[in-house]
Amino acid sequence: PPPPPESIAAFPDDGRGLSDRLDDMERKLITSAMVTTNGNIAEAARLLKTDRGNLYRRMRRLGIRGGGE
């Protein structure tokens, strides 16, 4: 196969799997939305194009505190 384009960073072989990497990315997105909205769950959910219940579930699963918890 052809080599990857130069603009793609080398894959970090840190032993973590896809699920861990996706959790990290999701945690960063949710945390960023929470900071942007000053901790307002409803606004963060709108920003992330999801509903509050789904955002609360994801936050609980990822260990993110906020929204009066």
Global confidence as pTM: 0.78
Token pair belonging to 9 = 């960073």
Q: Give the CA dihedral 62, 66, 67, 69, nearest 10 degrees.
A: 90
Token pair belonging to 51 = 């509903």
What would the pLDDT profile of 3-61 be if each residue is shown by its tens digit? 666 666 667 788 999 999 999 999 999 999 999 999 999 999 999 999 999 999 999 99
Helices (runs of H) and strands (runs of E) counted in the chain? 3, 0
Contacts (Cβ under 8 Å, ≥6 apart) of 37:
43, 44, 47
Looking at residue 66, its pLDDT comes to 81
